[in-house]
Amino acid sequence: MKKAIQIKENIYWVGVHDFNCRKFHGELFPIEDGTTYNAYLIVDEQVTLIDTVEEEFLDIMLERIQSVIGDRPVDNIIVQHAEPDHSSGFLKTMQKYPNAVPYASNAGVKHMLEQYFKEYAYNKVKTGDTLSIGKNTLTFVEMPMIHWPDNMLTYLPESKIAFSNDAFGQHIASYKLFDDEHSLETCLDKAKDYYANIVMPYGLQVNNKLKQILDMNLEFDMIAPAHGVIWRSYISELLEAYKQFANFSSKDKVVIVYESVWKHTQMMAEALAEGIGRSGVEVKVFKNSETSTSLIMKEILDAKAILAGSGNYNNFMAPSMASFLEKLASCKIKGKKALGFGSYGWANVVTKEINARLEKAGFAPVVDESVTVNFTPSHDDLNALEELGEKIADAVKNM
């Protein structure tokens, strides 16, 4: 029988491990090591379940719950987020515990009805609302657009735990449930990865919500997210990292992303990288079609500039680069600069289109240059590109 894991007195982790997950949110977020869907059980005069799990893993969650309360019913179910990785097990949980009272934000109730088409006597809650369950009182904090309109956080003041759902999550699939059972570097790196691929478009909302939470003077012994490890020792470092992420804080770093069939554009990318790197600026170079999207987005989060390159394919850029530029535009990135480059054969059109898309996405040019080469770059072309890389490095240092 699967058993619950106690995280504080009368509070239990009843989640599941998805060790085989390699595509989180479909193709949008490739991951390496699987993930967890965290649900939490509070045993008091009323038994309260914080979130459910993916429907396919529901029996494991129910086993963990029963390992603590046996045949005792669950009295309350807190739906912090209606996205299916947290809510698709809800209907069958209600079948198991038909008298449980569900709580959700106003948007959460709307999303649950629109996805599952079944009405329950939902209690709609907003920031500052409370629920007494005996010795403990739950306080709700709405967190709209981190990363859906319905997200919310549930705070338990008696135990100083924030159940934060997607906020502060990471993809660490381990029975070592706490942050200090892993290195600080690992935890923050995974949190950065998750932020860059899930939360990055909502930096403004993250900044505002962090300020609101701090203004509420909540004390945290633990932050228990819906994915990954529970934070208890690295909380101050985590909150500082989130401030940096939300502000798109950057270092002297350039990310080069390109697509190339006959290596002409690849040669350009590597020559630009040579000039940037030898000028003392960190540079990362990725062939888009052979690199995890999640890795590229994580590296972009703290870079000052992005260089995007493609060859010409029937007068269009490579499809993978078009997709990458759409992804960039959707992330609403602030404070960074960019530049397109590429090789062409008989129609010099693609680099202009890349730069137009970058400009439309809000990126100013890192340098005022047109960076194109006809067919194979010559030695003179490559030398000129290295010199341009040095110029880009100087611009980055002065940003």
The yes-or-no answer on residue 368 being catalytic is: no
Question: What are the angstrom distances between the C-alpha of 42 and each of 49, 236, 246?
Answer: 6, 25, 31
> Up-side HSE of residue 147: CA atoms within 13 Å toward CB?
19
Pair of tokens at residue 381: 């072309």
CA 168-178-244 angle, to 5 degrees, is 30
Question: What are the angstrom distances between the C-alpha of 179 and each of 39, 195, 224, 229?
Answer: 17, 17, 10, 6
> Up-side HSE of residue 131: CA atoms within 13 Å toward CB?
28
DSSP label at residue 296: H
The yes-or-no answer on residue 83 being catalytic is: yes
d(CA 209, CA 194): 18
Catalytic residue of the set 44, 51, 54, 81:
81
What SS3 class is residue 88?
coil
Q: How would you classify residue 117: left for phi > 0, otherwise alpha for psi between -120 and 50, otherwise beta?
A: left
Catalytic residue of the set 155, 227, 302, 353:
227
The amino acid at residue 63 is E
Catalytic residue of the set 44, 54, 83, 193:
83
Catalytic residue of the set 18, 111, 122, 147:
147
Those residues with Cβ within 8 angstroms of residue 19's Cβ, 6 or more apart along the chain or in another chain: 33, 34, 173
Catalytic residue of the set 103, 122, 194, 195:
194
What residues does 223 pair with on adjacent strands? 162, 231
Closest CA to 141 of 85, 220, 194: 220
d(CA 107, CA 104): 8
d(CA 107, CA 141): 13
d(CA 94, CA 101): 9
The yes-or-no answer on residue 202 being catalytic is: no
The yes-or-no answer on residue 111 being catalytic is: no
Alpha helices, DSSP H, located in 135-263: 184-194, 203-215, 235-246
Catalytic residue of the set 85, 150, 274, 302:
85
- Maximum Cα–Cα distance for the chain, whole Å? 78
The yes-or-no answer on residue 25 being catalytic is: yes
The yes-or-no answer on residue 59 being catalytic is: no
Catalytic residue of the set 18, 44, 142, 166:
166
d(CA 265, CA 258): 7
Question: Mind telling me the catalytic residues?
Answer: 25, 81, 83, 85, 147, 166, 194, 227
